[in-house]
Amino acid sequence: MEIKPFEKKIYLSSPTMHGDELKYMQEAYETNWMSTVGANINETERLVAEKIGCKDAVALSCGTAALHLAIKLAGERLYGQPRVGHGSLEGRKVFCSDMTFDATVNPVAYEGGEAVYIDTERDTWNMDPKALEKAFEIYPEVKLVVIAHLYGTPGKVDEIRKICDAHGALIVEDAAESFGATYKGQQTGIFGDYSVISFNGNKIITGSSGGMFLTNNVDDAHKVRKWSTQSREDAAWYQHEELGFNYRMSNVIAGVVRGQMPYLEEHIAQKKAIYERYKEGFKDLPVTMNPFDAENSEPNFWLSCLLINEDAMCRQVRGEKDVLYVSEPGKSCPTEILEAIAAINAEGRPIWKPMHMQPIYRMNGFVTEAGNGRARSNAYIKETGFEDVGSDIFNRGLCLPSDNKMTTEQQDVIIEVVKMCFV
């Protein structure tokens, strides 16, 4: 069966604009508030804080900037203000989600800390509480945990919070991908001691760039605002008593976010419909969709992902940059499916490669439910059949085209192309 490529590319997740964004950008232009102050920033911060249910929100240049200042703030709260040129986590270990984008964990290194990666659980593809508990047994001195909600799906928040509280550890919550998702009726972004969201161009609400620091402590919000504007003191001249950053969101970008905000629930509904159509379309294939805890959470369904059953995987070998696979009847692999999708002018992606597998972080600590992942030999894995969960999901999983402008008919074609890979 020949399927013709789409004339217009179907993206993984591209911005969906509505027109209100242009109105607020134009307002910034006409009033000449083009810098990092203005009505759009103030209103966007108010709208986001109201949506999340937190006391304050600080608009920043990107989600990574928000994470950096959240982690810096946590470090200073735990260990005191560092000397200039030294990070707030200098020489300290920090527990971090393993299967995530590296923006989640890079700020730990910015602040001189060392990430120790915690394996993933299969129920939501997020940080495994059992592995986290094991990590505290191995590294009892750790006092900071950085968690991410992968692909818009909330993790096991209550279990992680209980463990962190028992060990006196703070939580930085990376809700960059999960804006609008809820856990037990509450918005993600409310569960960390410090939390962040992202408005990157591919997120469910976008400003083309931008991020937000979220907190229930107004003094912390004031501190982050100050840091984000080069730590200028309240003086008539430029006075600086601590290290600062150029991290504030512009009033123009804030106009885009402000215009997007009324459409959050609409975007979530569209993304959920895409997820459910894929799930129905693949019901007879040896695959499953990215899971979530339906009893306790409602994802924002930012990306729809597919996991191939172990016995339906054809042979696939990945190097650092290259990949090889052998096509087999009735079986497939992520590479084959992604190539088939690309051939019809649609965009899929591999699952995030776990941080413990990344060359830059390969020597960092890594803890699984069974204990210290670095201590496991290849012989042990072969003998027991035990493999860390994140590596397994990376090996067998992929992200499907999830753009909310994709039509039902276009998605049906993509579903058919995936089915053909298993013939």
Q: Which residues are catalytic?
A: 203
Lookup result for tokens 């191995």: 138
Are 143 and 78 within 8 A, CB to CB?
Answer: yes
Residues sharing a CB contact under 8 Å with residue 83, sequence separation 6 or more, in sequence order: none
Torsion angles phi and psi, residue 140, rounded to 5: -65, -15
Detail the DSSP E strand segments found in 141-193.
Answer: 144-148, 170-174, 182-183, 186-187
Terminal-residue alpha carbon distance, the chain: 11
Are 42 and 258 within 8 A, CB to CB?
Answer: no
The angle subtended at Cα 311 by Cα 350 and Cα 400, nearest 5°, is 25
- 147: nearest Cα among 93, 181, 115, 104: 104
Q: Which residues pair with 145 in a beta bridge?
A: 95, 171
Q: Is beta strand 182-183 parallel, antiparallel or unpaired with respect to 297-298?
A: antiparallel
Kind and range of the H or E run holding 331? none
Are 155 and 145 within 8 A, CB to CB?
Answer: no
Rounded to whole angstroms, the Cα distance separating 277 from 400 reads 12
Q: Is beta strand 144-148 parallel, antiparallel or unpaired with respect to 93-97?
A: parallel
Are 135 and 163 within 8 A, CB to CB?
Answer: no
Residues 15-54 as b/e (b if ≥16 CB within 10 A, e otherwise) read bbeeebbeebbebbeeeebeebebbbbebbbebbbebbeb
Residues 376-414 as b/e (b if ≥16 CB within 10 A, e otherwise) read beeeeeeeeeeebbbbebbbbbbbbbbbbebeeebbebb
Rounded to whole angstroms, the Cα distance separating 242 from 12 reads 41
Count of residues for the chain? 423
Rounded to whole angstroms, the Cα distance separating 202 from 5 reads 23
